[in-house]
Chains A and B, each alone.
Chain A
Amino acid sequence: MPAGQPALAAALPRFKIALPVAALAAMFGIIFWIRPAIFSYFGIGLLLDLAMPAVFASMAQMCVIAINDIDLGIGPFISLTSCIAATLLVRAPAAGLLALAAAIGAYALMGGLIHVRRLPSIVVTLGASFIWLGCALLLLPSPGGGAPSLIAGFVNLSPPLVPLPILVLAGAAFLGHLLLMRTARGAVLRGIGGNAKAVEQAGWSLARGRMLLYGIAGACGVIAGLLLDGINTSGDATVGAQYTLTSIAAVIVGGGEFVGGDVSPVGTVTGTLIMLLTGSVLSFVNISTSWQLSVEGGILIVVLGLRALARTA
């Protein structure tokens, strides 16, 4: 562990959030320059609509990355939950709720399995991704279904002054920050990512910690799926696939680290917005959406590369 230089290093954690926030401001600046008309109540709402499910996808990923794991199946999981919302929740709400609860339970169990058998999360979540996709396809072999009126209604809310997505994003950032960064339990969970041995020696259960974080990730995935269904008012087994890379990029660009438990809910929300707006900017300048994912990948590489170079400097 390198010794820190007092002044600079002490300020570094605060710098970490400054960078993504600055980047976000820059993005808004670019968008305003290209498409100033967008800055209306309706325009912002439309621009940021899809940020709502995306932010919860990123929160889910953040929970898993906080314990030094990675979730390569969150995208298909969100597809599944949105399909459940589009079918069961509409036709047989009780069964739908049960299915969603089971989905969260499955995520927690997955975390438990990974801990108990010391499995690599990459392969387990990748294998699980096929299970999620398979279940989604069974529910909806082809796009269809509807959306529960409650959720569709929520998504179409138009609160005064501030568009709904901004409220939802702020709420997610606030709740995430409160739970993970301000509670004692949250500190312990993050501590597992930083020094699991020390936390265990202090008497905490690592298995329970991991299962709790994975369970929360599952819950976030459910919320993301519900919101997605509400926005699209129909289900599609492949709709969520993009969220896997987007969520990883959002956590990292927002200042999170893969190893060490150093994640930030506010940073994750910021990162999500940056990723989403990148896609919007690309479409404004008429670059096809098929490049969107590779641009996200490119941003991820650049951010990680710069960090690595900064570390060796």
Chain B
Amino acid sequence: MRALQGVDLDIDAGRMLGIVGHNGAGKSTLMQIIAGTLPPSSGAIAVAGAPIPAYGVRAAHALGIRCVFQELSLCPNLAVFENVGIMHRSLRGAGWRGRARHLIRASLDAIFPGHGIDPDRQVSSLSIGERQMVEIARAFSETEEKVRLVILDEATASLAGHAATQLLDFTRAARARGIACVFISHRLAEILAYADDIVVLRDGGIVGTAPASGLDEDRLVAMMGEVRAPAGRDAGGARSAGVPRVEAAAQDGESLPLRVHAGEIVGLAGLAGHGQRAFLHRVFAAARHRERGLAVNGSIAHVSGDRASEGIFPLWSVMRNISAGALGRLSRFGLIDPTAERALAEAWARSLAIRTPTVSHLATRLSGGNQQKVLVARALASGADILLLDDPTRGVDVGTKRELYARMRAHAAGGHAILWYTTENAELAECDRVYVFSRGRITDAIDRDAYSEDRVIRASFASAPPGGGFARAG
């Protein structure tokens, strides 16, 4: 699967390039290639006009490329200045501690005046915002190797308000010194205010490059998405009636309420990692025991999109993976009936068109799409009232995706409730209602008839529900 295609990127010294895009646009892949952690399958990387054949993390570092990702690379058990020593190998021998302290203090003072962070403090005692500040300051710190390019990938996400401003103001000074910056953020206002040029990615390719001065939020939103008419879906059956299967209360104007009824497919949208997955886990837990502000009525099953780390059992066959949720029904006198188990697995394999030689095959030998079908089969076979889908079509081929959509429609029509988190906006067309998440809060609730991708993207970048909470869906 191609994450990036035909991307030609020029990053000029002394300028800040802002990169925006929705899910799956290819931003993180692009950054990993620049950082050297991912080799490009084709194309070349050139610095100052000279192509670099053997590119990697160390080469990148030596060339003066520094990265700050959202995932922190500090050692929490070490002090701040000791972490600086890890990055700069030249800091050793007598007096290294003083030098390291001086280096990080200077960098922190330059970028975040008034930061109040003592370099002797252990990183684990710092708040997330402070850790982010340390990570950024470390990236900008120089010993012998000069910094030439700094990549800030959602680096302002964990920073407190004024610290983010300080950082961006600093990038102006850095740019004046000739350092190039690449800045990825979901805060469009920030990017528009500070970037010199903006690149918009969509579906693995660049759809637009323009100086920031010529753009505004609306144009960016429009470039990131495609206004598409929702696929036709029968509006049959009385929905939104009766006791909801899942009900989440609103949170003091910070987040909209959420409701899922039997027979409905409700989508969770928004930028990846903005609380949708955590919400699904909360719903799953709420089915077993009480949770404040969250009511779940009915049995529940979960389908994970992260098949390898929380879905497929790697030592088990397709059959055992499918039957995992239905073992109660397959047991006679406490022992699982192997014939019944096989029959169940084969029936679901047929029903979902799972391509495997036999159901006794090891599940990990199947293709990604078929593995996903196995997980769906497991959830369906459990007969649960509520289905939670955690981005199940990631890395799945188009044909399988269509089969899964059809299956979900049928499942809902059969009276089940489905809560579906997806990072692909096109899939939201299958939903009766879409709740958009931004920074852990539900910022918009969009009914089927009022759906537009434009609206989803706008809400993904919003910081609060429009007009304060309790806005009615529609």
Contacts and interface: CB of A to CB of B under 8 A. Distances in A.
B89 A198 contact: no
Nearest to A6: B127
Interface string A196-210: 011101111000000
Contact of B61 (A3, A185, A198, A203): A203
Contacts of A195: 73-76
B278 to A, nearest CB: 15
B96 interface: yes
A191 B78 contact: yes
B91 A184 contact: yes
B282 interface: no
B73 A198 contact: yes
Interface in A201-244: 201-204
Contact of B76 (A194, A199, A203): A194
Contact of B125 (A13, A183, A201, A203): A13
Interface string B51-90: 0000001100100000000000111111000110111010
A10 B124 contact: no
Nearest to B79: A187
A203 B75 contact: no
A191 B93 CA distance: 18
B128 A191 contact: no
Given A10-B118, A184-B96, A4 B124 contact: yes
Interface residues of A, number: 30
B121 interface: yes
Interface residues of B, number: 31
B128 A13 contact: no
Interface in B121-139: 121-122, 124-129, 131
Contacts of A9: 124-125
A198 B125 contact: no
B124 A204 contact: no
Contact of B57 (A3, A201, A260): A201
B281 interface: no
A91 interface: no
B104 to A, nearest CB: 13
B58 to A, nearest CB: 5
Contact of B85 (A12, A184, A198, A261): A184
Contacts of B77: 190-191, 193-194, 257, 260-262
Interface centre among B73, B91, B129 (most CB of A within 10 A): B73
B75 A12 contact: no
Contact of B86 (A10, A183, A204, A260): A204
B407 interface: no
Contacts of A198: 73-75, 86
Interface string B104-127: 000000000000001001101111
A233 B26 CA distance: 70
A197 B74 CA distance: 10
B78 to A, nearest CB: 5
Contact of A188 (B58, B85, B127): B85
A1 interface: yes
Contacts of B82: 187, 190-191
Contacts of A204: 86
Interface of A: 1, 3-4, 6, 9-10, 12-13, 182-185, 187-188, 190-191, 193-195, 197-199, 201-204, 257, 260-262
Listed from nearest, the 7 A-B pairs whose CB atoms lie closest are: A194-B75, A184-B92, A198-B73, A194-B77, A3-B127, A191-B75, A9-B125
